[in-house]
Amino acid sequence: MDLLKRQTPKIDNGPGAHSPLGAAMAANDRATMSLVREAIATRRLRLAYQPVVLSRNTARTAFHEGLMRVLDPSGRVIPAREFMHTIEDTELGREVDCAALEIGLLALSQNPSLRLALNMSARSIGYGRWVDTLRRGLNLSPTVGERLILEITESSAMTVPEIVMKFMEEMQAKGVAFAMDDFGAGYTAIRYFKDFFFDIIKIDAQFIRNIHADPDNQALAGALNSIGKHFQMFTVAEAVETIEEAEFLVSLGVDCMQGYLFGAPTMNPAWAQDQGKKRA
């Protein structure tokens, strides 16, 4: 399918393509792609790990999400949100997906108590190297599959729903769980949603901000949480930043919460520190 073939950046030949602003944006995109390409070549890619905690006991971590980071030549950490939108539709995007998967699977194989969510794109299903990396990683340890969660955004899943559903069915048979990321931000067709069989839905951050004082967000997040419960999906609230938000979400019945209130993403998680002490 064309959507799953390797893609190259689109060239904008519209009216504003040769304007100063257009030229500046194009130059910025080229610089971003060059930086990511160099980071891949020199292996300056890392995962930052953020905890997802149980609502009923926030001292307990249900799993972690691995978030891609690029290090520039000076060592500055650049989060994925600053470059993924530029490379998402290109082969560089698939290479970054491969790197994240490889790093995450290795972490799972080395840490038997770790449960980890990794982001993926629907495009990666048609990228042979990514699929090969996944299959090899699942063989690193007998329990890797049952401790791996693959997160796919609502909008990405909807690009090729039938292919995503087939891939999910194959991987779930191997113990892999799937999370729909940014639930509520995309355009899920309910006729597809009931056939997807996601294990987890992550309610988009826009419905969580200031939820304790925003009646609209209370209604919307409540509805999204109810949909998840109806389809027997584990529900996670994203981007929880205040105690007031957390307390309301607990009362709403959300299963888990993720956000800076419970921990920022870190490239030096506790289990890596423990491993370092053992080696020393």
Domains and CATH numbers, the chain: 18-42+50-279 (3.20.20.450)
| Cα separation, 151 vs 149, whole angstroms | 6
Residue ranges with strand state E in the chain? 45-54, 57-71, 77-79, 116-120, 148-153, 177-183, 200-203, 234-237, 256-258
Which pLDDT score, from 0 to 100, does residue 85 have? 86
| Cα separation, 237 vs 204, whole angstroms | 7
Q: What are phi and psi of 195, to 5 degrees?
A: -100, -10
Q: Which amino acid is at 68?
A: M
pLDDT tens for 102-123 read 999 999 999 999 999 999 999 9
Q: Would the pTM of this model clear 0.85, i.e. be above it? A: yes
* Token duo for residue 31: 């610089």
Contacts 24+ apart (CB under 8 A), 262-267: 262/51, 262/53, 262/58, 263/50, 263/51, 264/50, 265/48, 265/49, 265/50, 265/65, 265/67, 265/79, 266/48, 266/49, 266/50, 267/46, 267/47, 267/48, 267/49, 267/69, 267/77
Say if strands 200-203 and 234-237 run parallel, antiparallel, or are unpaired.
Answer: parallel
Number of residues in the chain:
280
Which pLDDT score, from 0 to 100, does residue 277 have? 57
Which pLDDT score, from 0 to 100, does residue 189 have? 60
Which pLDDT score, from 0 to 100, does residue 4 have? 42
| Cα separation, 20 vs 23, whole angstroms | 5
pLDDT tens for 166-177 read 999 999 999 999
Question: Shortest CA distance to 271 belongs to which of 84, 54, 67, 110?
Answer: 110
Dihedral sign for Cα atoms in the order 259, 264, 266, 271: negative
Q: Which residue has the tokens 């294990």?
A: 199
Distances (CA, A) of 122 to 140, 160, 226: 24, 7, 26
Check pLDDT > 70 for residue 274.
Answer: no
Which pLDDT score, from 0 to 100, does residue 23 have? 72
Q: How confident is the model at residue 246 (pLDDT cuts 50, 70, 90)?
A: very high
| Cα separation, 276 vs 280, whole angstroms | 6
